[in-house]
Amino acid sequence: MMNRLLTVLLGLALCAELVPNIARCQQQILPTKRGYQVLSYKLLLDWRPIFKNKNQRFSGVNEITVSTTQSEVVFDAMEMRIDSIKVSGVDVTPVPQPIGDTLIVPLGPPAPFPTPSTIKIYYTRTSATNDAMFYYPKRTYAGPGPVGDSVFTLEDLAYTMSEPLDAHKWMPCNDEPYYKANSAISVIVPRTYSAQSNGTLQSVDTNTDGSLQFNWVSDRPIATYLMCASASVWAEWRDYYHRISNPLDSVSVVYFAWPADYAATDTTGIAHNARYAFRNTPKMIAAFSKLFGEYPFLQYGQVPVQPFGYGGMEHQTMTTIDRSILHGTNEDVISHELFHQWFGDKTTCETWADIWLNEGFATFGEAIWEEAVNGESTYSHYVGQQAYGFFHPYAPRGDVNNIPTYNPPIANVFNDPTTYLKPGCMLHMLRRVLNDDTLFFNTLRDYSNAFAYTTANTWQFMDFVVPRAGALAPVNLNTFFNEWLFWPDWPVYKIGWKQSNGKLLVHVTQQQDSTHLYTMPLRFKAIAGQDTTLLMFVNDKQSQIFTATLSKPITRLVFDSEAVVLSQSTLAPDATLVDPTLGVQDGSTSEGFLRVDVAMGILKLSFAPIAGERGELQILDVLGRIIARRDVPSGAATLTLPMEELASGAYFVRLTDGAGEHTTRFQVEK
Ligand SMILES: [Zn+2]
């Protein structure tokens, strides 16, 4: 699903990478399973009353085949009356009714081993509200158009929209993502209407009253939130995607649109032009198939609806999309929902705690399509826009960026910054960390195949990816996933740099307002005239000084120009930086020119006699801040300082005189 109708945000943002090994710090959310398995749904929706009475009430029959040892099964069902139930052809009396949002159907004595039962539930949807089942009559006001005009629906329209847990408001079912089952959906509509659902259309039957029954069958198991139906007066046309694995195998790409939207010829973004907006769909399928494995179903379709509360919804093989997309001004929603066919539909998040496995991937898929059609720099810019969107959440909708991506609070399951943008950027970061596109894409393709037509959870994803890709990563990938999926924040880097005597010093401190320490490879460009030197340091400490020997004086240091790290940063020259490799020593002493003894509340400094008129001694903390300063007379070779004012920790002492500058580190332990 896509929440946003994207406003293009300009801005360069930063995405990153990692190293040390953190124990997994998050409790896994396990699905609570019922004691049966749905083998199939065979659903008949009679939508003639919807169009006749112009409301959301209709009658239906759901024939659910389950396998169980239990004496009863619990389904999800609400906003409906149960008219009758037959179990293996025998009426259940009295007829069970939903209590709250569940329906309990007695089956008979428990079975010693899992036994199939066919439960045929005749029901009537009693709610006349737009809730999971939507109906809009022709000429409904749908909102403002692109030039300040008013947009109205062009035909009567009915459709379902169920994610995450609303399918049981239009059909009795077992409404959790981890219960995939086969499905066949038939929809009866008045003559001149047509109905769409998942899979492929098997037949259209004509009833004695002239109404039409469209019979669709899914070619793969499906989660209930991905099941759908829609109906209106449509123009229908199709295109073909020739499988990259077998060009002789043509996959139908079917499109629906209101006739005026089909006939439109304007391509300036003012009109709804369905043929123009959908024109690249087969190329998108080819681009994604090439990188992530062959398109996983027999057919793909797109149905534009309006009003719709979302940009699009990846109903399996039959995406529902907001009609405003037909302006054709961007393809983000089209590519997002299509990418879900691999990540979301073929491989479905096991629980809603794992929703990022759907939405983070689909968000990343938008950038992949940008790269396929416009090249690598557009890809980078697009990811930068996504990062910008993460740091500037859309406040009027209540989006926040300070909750973990894994297992968001239920009210934030579809929170754009953390369910979509952060994990989307994380996949980009993974790509950059691995720095090997073949390894990256093959790993994701293999993950998709390993969990094809079933579900995956966050742990399964990590356990799949880490052994395959971890050996080549510059940071520990378990740590990487831990940090980006389970922590609610992001790194904030303060970077100071100095070049002296041909050596570049880069001081990185992490300043995020938490105890979370991010481990990421940080990339820099050191620019000296026409020469650019690429540097990478793995930052795994709160404060860390990196050094590099450069042959030329640099004029500029650039951090993370490829927006690898989802971070906020400041970078500036810092003349006070001290080379930590000079005179580094363990404990309280150092050999050589400058010696520090820490004892009995006194710092005793010993050094070669001061040359020139006088010298200066400075004590610096690990951030390079001068916290004490003393003049040292000419010829002096020792100095003592009280150290009551120094807290425990690491410090530097720097001695400057006419002969040069010398620094060593010491430790205070109290
Ligand atoms: Zn989505």
- Residues 197-206: pLDDT tens digits? 999 999 999 9
Nearest CA to 387 among 55, 13, 97?
13
CA of 422 to the centre of ligand 1 (A): 13
Examine the pLDDT at 14 and tell me if it is beyond 60.
Answer: no
Three-state SS at 437: helix
Q: In degrees rounded to 5, what are phi and psi of residue 425?
A: -65, -30
The pLDDT score that the predictor gives to residue 216 is 98
Examine the pLDDT at 665 and tell me if it is beyond 90.
Answer: no
Give the residues across from 347 on adjacent strands: 343, 454
Give tens-digit pLDDT for 225-259: 999 999 999 999 999 999 999 999 999 999 999 99
> What's the CA dihedral at 217, 220, 223, 225 to 10 degrees?
-50
What are the domain boundaries of the chain? 34-142+154-233, 594-668
Nearest CA to 537 among 524, 556, 555, 527?
524
d(CA 111, CA 115): 7
The pLDDT score that the predictor gives to residue 535 is 87
Higher pLDDT, 44 or 670: 44
Helices (H), 544-631: none
* Ramachandran sector of residue 417 (left: φ over 0; alpha: ψ -120 to 50; beta: rest): alpha
d(CA 518, CA 25): 14
Q: Look up the pTM and report it.
A: 0.84
Examine the pLDDT at 12 and tell me if it is beyond 70.
Answer: no
d(CA 251, CA 238): 10
Question: What average pLDDT score do residues 333-359 get?
Answer: 98
The pLDDT score that the predictor gives to residue 495 is 97
Give tens-digit pLDDT for 308-339: 999 999 999 999 999 999 999 999 999 999 99
The pLDDT score that the predictor gives to residue 25 is 59
CA of 626 to the centre of ligand 1 (A): 51
Question: What average pLDDT score do residues 664-668 get?
Answer: 72
Q: Does domain 594-668 have CATH number 3.90.550.10?
A: no
d(CA 481, CA 406): 10
CA of 404 to the centre of ligand 1 (A): 18
Examine the pLDDT at 583 and tell me if it is beyond 50.
Answer: no
Range scoring the smallest mean pLDDT among 37-46, 159-168, 265-274, 599-608:
599-608
Range scoring the smallest mean pLDDT among 122-131, 335-344, 592-601:
592-601
Do 619 and 645 contact (CB within 8 A), yes or no? no
CA of 161 to the centre of ligand 1 (A): 13
- Give the 3-state secondary structure percentages of the chain, helix then strand then coil, rounded to 5: 20, 35, 40
CA of 1 to the centre of ligand 1 (A): 3
For the chain, give the percent of residues with pLDDT over 90.
75
Number of other residues whose CB lies within 10 A of the CB of residue 669:
8
The pLDDT score that the predictor gives to residue 608 is 67
CA of 77 to the centre of ligand 1 (A): 25
CA of 314 to the centre of ligand 1 (A): 7
- In SS3 terms, 113-169 reads as CCEEEEEEEEEEECCCCCECEEEECCCCEEEECCCCCEEECCCCEEEECCCCCCHHH
CA of 340 to the centre of ligand 1 (A): 7
Give tens-digit pLDDT for 463-518: 999 999 988 788 999 999 999 999 999 999 999 999 988 889 999 999 999 889 99
CA of 494 to the centre of ligand 1 (A): 34
Do 184 and 216 contact (CB within 8 A), yes or no? yes
Examine the pLDDT at 11 and tell me if it is beyond 80.
Answer: no
The pLDDT score that the predictor gives to residue 631 is 86
d(CA 135, CA 52): 11
CA of 332 to the centre of ligand 1 (A): 11
CATH topology of domain 34-142+154-233: Immunoglobulin-like (2.60.40)
Q: Choose from 262-266, 604-608, 664-668 the range with maximum mean pLDDT.
A: 262-266
Examine the pLDDT at 624 and tell me if it is beyond 60.
Answer: yes
Examine the pLDDT at 649 and tell me if it is beyond 80.
Answer: no
> Which whole-number Å values give the CA distances from 257 to 235, 279, 305, 509, in the listed order?
5, 13, 8, 55
- Report whether the peptide linkage leading into residue 164 is cis, meaning its omega lies within 30 degrees of zero: yes
Residue type, 438: T
CA of 520 to the centre of ligand 1 (A): 28
Give tens-digit pLDDT for 439-458: 999 999 999 999 999 999 99
The pLDDT score that the predictor gives to residue 622 is 64
d(CA 139, CA 137): 6
* Ramachandran sector of residue 231 (left: φ over 0; alpha: ψ -120 to 50; beta: rest): beta
The pLDDT score that the predictor gives to residue 325 is 97
Range scoring the smallest mean pLDDT among 102-116, 233-247, 287-301, 527-541:
527-541
CA of 343 to the centre of ligand 1 (A): 9
Question: What average pLDDT score do residues 209-224 get?
Answer: 98
What is the enclosing helix (H) or strand (E) of 556?
strand 556-559
Same fold yes or no, 34-142+154-233 and 594-668: yes
- How high is the mean pLDDT of the chain? 90
CA of 360 to the centre of ligand 1 (A): 8
CA of 333 to the centre of ligand 1 (A): 8
* Two structure tokens written together for 666: 């010491």
pLDDT band for position 79 (50/70/90)?
very high
The pLDDT score that the predictor gives to residue 222 is 98
Examine the pLDDT at 6 and tell me if it is beyond 60.
Answer: no
Q: CA angle at residue 38 from 134 to 410, to 5 degrees? A: 55
CA of 609 to the centre of ligand 1 (A): 70
CA of 410 to the centre of ligand 1 (A): 17
d(CA 416, CA 82): 38
The pLDDT score that the predictor gives to residue 595 is 67
Rg of the chain on CA atoms, in Å? 32
Higher pLDDT, 532 or 293: 293
